[in-house]
Amino acid sequence: MKGLLSRAPGGPETLEIGELPDPTAAAGEVVVAVKACAINYPDVLVIEDRYQFKPPRPFAPGGEVSGVVESVGEGVTAFKPGDRVMGNTGMGGLVEKLVMKADNIYPIPDERSFEEGASMLLTYGTTIHALIDRGHIKEGDTLLVLGAAGGVGLAAVELGKAFGARVVGAVSSEEKAQAVRDAGADDVIVYGRAPFSKDESKALADQFKEKGGKNGYQLVYDAVGGDYAEPALRSIGWEGRYLVIGFPAGIPKLPLNLTLLKSCDVCGVFWGAFAAREPERNRANIRRLFDLWRQGRIAPRVTEVFPLEKGGEAIAKMANRGAIGKLVVRVAD
């Protein structure tokens, strides 16, 4: 079978189409003929050996897929060949066929496309875990979302609104601001490009504070990091929760005196580890997502689709922070 492979550490330009052995399903597993694979920021990091783990090469990036069940292993009764499914695989998705644990896949609703199915679980799974389990969001909270036009950012805007929060989205361009407004944000901030001087950092903090109101933000959802983190932390309210999602702008160093002065929490969000450690709680979150999806209150926004041979271009666009919504690679028709 074909795949878009990383054979040595490097950027998206080092990826190449190659051959891998066809997989077979062991007990509790299914083989999925992959139709679509969504691109996420971990795909940028893993091919450069900068992610939390380093898969043995050659490997295919791509952490969430959709497709059709081709075969099932012993003991699998929930799925059969021909079923349309989607799931999170961690890595390895940019291939024609993929082995997945049956417990990690879900049926795609009949009215939804493979591209939408491939774009659902990682971004919304991360975000519902962040807001519910780590952030304890409640109706009436004010939520600041950094990087609000990306996949996880738009998910945070939609879920924040679904859970009754006032949502302020922060982005780097007017084009992205419009996408965030379209997703339902109550207000939008357009910030400049880092790095920031001390005065520029203070100005951004003041901008965040102005939109947050007199009580500040009860929740900050930080999918950006870098020089944006400290100004956001300065705008958080008393006993607020600062949710650490990712670092495309770099890993920040936060002044911890601010956490004392505001009696606030800095909360790490590692959805993959949560899903592995607490599968039942994770599946309950996923069921809640499917209910909201069915009601039309959330929906992945697929903005670009790339063929498999141009999957590296999708990863490059993600690396350059040029993505709005979800970028998807169409693996097969």
Could you report the per-residue pLDDT of 184-217, keeping only the tens digit for each? 999 999 999 999 999 999 999 999 999 999 999 9
- For residue range 19-68, what is the model confidence (pLDDT) as tens digits? 999 999 999 999 999 999 999 999 999 999 998 888 999 999 999 999 99
Is 292 inside any structural domain? Answer: no
Query: Region 126-150: what's the mean pLDDT?
Result: 97
Is 183 inside any structural domain? Answer: yes
Residues 61 and 165 in one domain: no
Confidence of residue 182 (pLDDT cuts 50, 70, 90): very high
Residues 101 and 140 in one domain: no
- For residue range 86-99, what is the model confidence (pLDDT) as tens digits? 999 989 999 999 99
In the chain, the number of structural domains is 2
pLDDT for position 101? 94
Nearest CA among 121, 106, 118, 104 for reference residue 276? 104
pLDDT for position 113? 96
Is 268 inside any structural domain? Answer: yes
Residues 64 and 134 in one domain: no
Letter string b/e over residues 32-67, b meaning 16 or more CB atoms within 10 A of that residue's CB: bbbbbbbbbbbbbbbbeeebeeebeeebbbbbbbbb
Query: Region 295-306: what's the mean pLDDT?
Result: 95
Tokens representing residue 129 in the block:
């875990």
CB atoms within 10 A of CB 230: 19
CATH value at residue 209: 3.90.180.10
Residues 113 and 209 in one domain: no
pLDDT for position 53? 83
Is 285 inside any structural domain? Answer: no
Query: Region 93-114: what's the mean pLDDT?
Result: 95
Is 295 inside any structural domain? Answer: no
Residues 231 and 136 in one domain: yes
pLDDT for position 322? 82
Q: Where does the chain have alpha helices with state H?
A: 41-46, 114-118, 121-128, 151-162, 174-182, 198-212, 229-234, 257-262, 271-277, 279-294, 311-319
Is 83 inside any structural domain? Answer: yes
CB atoms within 10 A of CB 131: 27
Residues 133 and 210 in one domain: yes
- From CA 126, how far away is CA 285, in angstroms rounded? 10
Residues 27 and 84 in one domain: yes
> pTM above the 0.85 mark?
yes
Residues 88 and 155 in one domain: no
Domain termination site, one of 234, 252, 272: 272
Residues 165 and 112 in one domain: no
pLDDT for position 16? 97
Confidence of residue 327 (pLDDT cuts 50, 70, 90): very high
What's the angle, vertex CA 221, arms to CA 215 and CA 223, rounded to 5?
A: 145
- From CA 25, how far away is CA 110, in angstroms rounded? 25
Is 283 inside any structural domain? Answer: no
CB atoms within 10 A of CB 138: 12
User: Is residue 206 left, alpha or beta, with left meaning phi > 0 and alpha meaning psi from -120 to 50?
Assistant: alpha
Is 33 inside any structural domain? Answer: yes
Residues 139 and 233 in one domain: yes
**168: Cβ contacts below 8 Å, ≥ 6 apart:** 142, 143, 144, 145, 185, 186, 187, 188, 189, 211, 212, 217
Residues 127 and 268 in one domain: yes
Domain that holds residue 326: 2-120+300-330
Residues 15 and 112 in one domain: yes
Compute the mean pLDDT over every residue in the chain, rounded to the nearest whole number.
Answer: 96
